[in-house]
Amino acid sequence: MEEKHLIRISNADIRNGSGVILHNVELTVDKGEFIYLVGKVGSGKSSLIRTLICEFPFENGEIEICGYNLGKIRRKDIPYLRRQIGVVFQDFQLLMDRTVEENLMFVLGATGWKEKKLMKERVNEVLTMVGMEGKSANMPHQLSGGEKQRVVIARALLNNPPVILADEPTGNLDPDTTNEIMQLLMKIHQQRQPAVIMVTHNTEITSRYPHQLYICEQGKLKAVENPHTIELDDSILEEIF
């Protein structure tokens, strides 16, 4: 039996708050694939990510992710879908009034975990994976930007998801910390082989850690075979290259 793609988008129109921003999107992503999404601000990159976690509706076509048909998914099934997806945000989205451990325990409880002992064990496991095992009692404001992003990556790993969506995960970090976070993401990808879609504007990242590149441009999602020779208009060159 042929294995289905973890992500399959077929002829779908992707919306943002005001209307369709990407037309006739075609994309498949399988286990172990890592792809970058690039494009100027407002080109639809983040809208595509938010569509995949059912925050934005789409029009026409089909979208399937982790076995769920997003055109037919019931509202009560969305939390189950989200257990299959680890999301890494640029702005962290940590609960500032809770410790690192409490942040992660909250997510486990929201995704159906019940036994406190097992939950604490899982929290310790993921914090160890990201080099934050000594920070479980810290409040978010006591952490550096890089440490916060490590916690966010740990949060994304809690349910061992087959898909990781990273929306500008290094956008608020300095170059050295960016490199540390990318090395961590590459290590996780190599060891656990999730499908990864990462939105970025940082061309040093796409050059240093090369993977398949897609560009959101003029309302279309296009594969970029050779990003260093592709002809782009000046506004996109300023934003990306």
Q: What is the pLDDT of residue 184?
A: 92
Per-residue pLDDT of the chain (241 residues; tens, 9 = 90+): 345 799 999 999 999 878 899 999 999 999 999 999 998 888 899 999 999 999 999 999 999 999 999 999 999 999 889 889 999 987 888 999 999 999 999 999 888 888 999 999 999 999 999 999 999 999 999 999 999 999 999 999 999 999 999 999 998 889 999 999 999 999 999 999 999 999 998 888 999 999 999 999 999 999 987 655 444 443 443 444 3
Q: What is the pLDDT of residue 225?
A: 74
Q: What is d(CA 74, CA 166) in angstroms, rounded to the nearest whole number?
A: 25
Q: What is the pLDDT of residue 228?
A: 54
Taking alpha carbons only, the member of 183, 168, 176 closest to residue 38 is: 168
Supply the DSSP symbol for 5: P
Strand order in the sheet with 212-217: 85-89, 163-167, 195-199, 34-38, 212-217, 220-224
Query: What type of residue sits at position 71?
Result: G
Q: What is d(CA 4, CA 1) in angstroms, rounded to the nearest whole number?
A: 9
Query: 195-199 and 34-38: which strand pairing?
Result: parallel
Instruction: Flag whether the pTM goes above 0.85.
Output: yes
b/e map of 56-74 (b: 16 or more CB within 10 Å)?
bebeebebbbbebebeebe
Q: What is the pLDDT of residue 226?
A: 64
